Structure 1
Amino acid sequence: MGFIKGRSRNTYSDGVPTKESSSFKGISEQQLEEHLNVARYGSFLLTDAVRPSFDLTVVPSSGWRRDTYRDKETCIDVPVIMASQTREKLFDLFIDLLDPLGDEVDVVLETSHEARRGGHDDLYREQIDLPILKSLLYDFEDSILNDGCVGIAVLNPRVPMEVQFDEHKLLIMYGHDLEPFEEVLRQHGLWRSETLKFITEAEHIHSSTDEFGERFSDLRYQLGVEGD
C-alpha cells in the first residue's frame, strides 16, 4: 500500500529551519508522490509514519549509537541510546526493550493529532503491569508503527530507566545503566555505529490519517491515560 492514501492521509514536514532550505522546494507533485511512496532503502524498510528529505541527506538504516541527554531542569547529563530498526523487526524489538524496566511501569502517550504544528500533548498512565501493557500494545501494533503523530514512552521512575518509541519510529533509551538495553539490541542483531545518522537529523515528513487518530483515541481509552 502506498504512502499517500487519498484525502484521509495528512503529511507535514519537520526538521528544517526555513522554507527556503527545504529539499522539497520546487519539485513537482509527481516527484513528491514518487518519493513518498519509496519505503525501502537497501535492506531497511520504513514504516508509513515518516519519510526522509527529498535529497536524502540521511539515508535510513539500522543500528544504534550512544549519546548524552542534558536535563534542562537539573543540568544532569543522562546517558542515552538511540536505535533505528527496519519495519519488519521494529515492533518486536520495542517490546523486548521494555523488559529491563521491571514488572510494573508508567506509560506516556505522546500525540500531535490535536496539537499545533511543532507541539504535542502528553497523556499519562501510572503503574500498569508490563505483561498487560505489552498485550495492549500488540493490539494496536499497526497504528503505533505507522502513525507519524503518535509516540510512546514507557518508564520505571524507581530505577530510573525509560524507553521511547517516538513519532519517527526511533527507539530511545535513557538510564545510567544502559547495558541491559545493549544486550537486547545485540540479541536482535543490531550493532553499534558512532557514525550512524537518524532521520530526525535532517528534514523529514510525518504522515497520519483520520483512522489512525481514531485508533489513538481507542488506545488512550484502553490504557486509561489522562491529559497533562
Structure 2
Amino acid sequence: MINKMGFLKRILRPTPQDTADAPVAPGSFERLSDEELQVHMGIKTYGAFELTDAIRPSYDVQIAPRQGFRYDKYVDEASGATTPVIMAAATKSILLDTFLELIDHLGNVVDVVLETSHHSSSHHEDLYREHIDVPVLKSILMEFEDVLTDDGCTGIAIINPTKKQEVQLDEHKLLIAYGAPLDPFRETLIGADVYPDKSIRFITEAEHVHSSSERMYDRFLQLQTRLGVEDESSEDTAAW
C-alpha cells in the first residue's frame, strides 16, 4: 500500500524546488510579541466558523477560515493518472461527526493511516493498521475526539484499497475525500450544511501555525495503542 497522506499538501504548497530561488520574507508570526501571539492563538471564531485548537491562520489573516468544499485532483507524477478529490472545511461543532459519516461510504472493513509530526516540523511519520471493522474504528475515534480535532500534529486517513478511495482528517483539520465516485461524499457534506464553493481557499494556502502540547502527544500515543498501528518502516509496502 502506498501512503497518500499529505499529497494535497504538495498540491497546495510550493515544493522546495519551486521556492529555492524565491526571496524569503519574514513570517507574520516572527514579528509578534509573546502577548500578541497568545491573543491571536486565543481567537477561535471567524464569522460563523469556529476553528479547533489545532491551527490558526496568519496574524494578518491572509485567508479567513470559512465552511465549504471544492473539487480538486491528485495527479500521479509517474503515470500521469488523475484522481478526483473533494476538500472541505467544517466548523468545529460538526467536524468529527461529518468525518465519521464520510467514513461510512468506504465499506465495512478499512485500513488506517495515523499521521504524526510531533517530533518534526518538516516531515511526518505514518503509522499503519490494516483491516479494522468500521464500527470498532468509529468507537475508538469518538473516544479520541480531542486529539483528532485539537492536535495540530495529528492526522488520520481511512482507506479502502479495493475501492481505491480514502477519507482524511488531516493535521490542518480539513476533510478530504478522494477516489471516484465522489457523489456520496458530496451528499454527506451538503447534508451537514457544508456546501460547494468554487472560490473557497483553505488555511493551508497561506501562512498558518499548528498547535500541540505534551498532553496531546500523550493522547496520541494512547490512540496509537488503541488502533494497533505500526511504523511504515516496519513493514514492506506494496502499491495499490
Output the TM-score relative to the length of structure 1: 0.90
Q: CA deviation at 1:117?
A: 1.8
C-alpha distance in 2 between matches for 1:82 and 1:147: 20
Which of 53, 57, 61 lines up with 2:62 in the alignment? 57
Which of 38, 44, 54 lines up with 1:39 in the alignment? 44
* Number of the residue aligned with 2:184: 180
* Number of the residue aligned with 2:4: none
Q: CA deviation at 1:19?
A: 5.8
**AA partner of residue 199 (structure 2):** T
* Number of the residue aligned with 1:170: 174
- The runs of 5 or more residues in structure 2 that have no matched partner are 1-12, 233-240
**AA partner of residue 68 (structure 2):** G
* Matches for 1:1-12 after TM superposition, within 5 Å: none
Which of 136, 148, 159 lines up with 1:132 in the alignment? 136
Which of 221, 232, 240 lines up with 1:217 in the alignment? 221
C-alpha distance in 2 between matches for 1:73 and 1:207: 35
* Number of the residue aligned with 1:69: 74
* Number of the residue aligned with 2:112: 107
C-alpha distance in 2 between matches for 1:216 and 1:64: 28
**AA partner of residue 74 (structure 1):** S
Deviates more, 1:55-64 or 1:24-33: 24-33
**Counterpart of 1:20 in 2: which secondary structure?**
coil
| Residues 49 and 207 in structure 1, CA contact (< 8 A), matched pair in contact too | yes
Q: Per residue, is there more strand in 1 or in 2?
A: 1
* Number of the residue aligned with 1:9: none
Which structure is richer in relative contact order (CA contacts within 8 A, separation 6 or more)?
Answer: 1
Could you tell me the percent identity over the aligned residues? 48
Deviant stretches of 4+, over 4 Å:
15-19
C-alpha distance in 2 between matches for 1:60 and 1:216: 26
* Number of the residue aligned with 2:200: 196
Q: CA deviation at 1:142?
A: 1.0
Q: CA deviation at 1:76?
A: 1.1
C-alpha distance in 2 between matches for 1:29 and 1:132: 43
Q: CA deviation at 1:23?
A: 1.8
RMSD: 1.5
Q: Deviations along 1:111-141, whole A, 9 cap, x unmatched?
A: 0113x32100000000000000000000101
Which of 26, 29, 39 lines up with 1:24 in the alignment? 29
C-alpha distance in 2 between matches for 1:56 and 1:94: 26
Q: CA deviation at 1:28?
A: 2.5
| Residues 19 and 25 in structure 1, CA contact (< 8 A), matched pair in contact too | no
Which of 50, 72, 94 lines up with 1:89 in the alignment? 94
C-alpha distance in 1 between matches for 2:230 and 2:35: 42
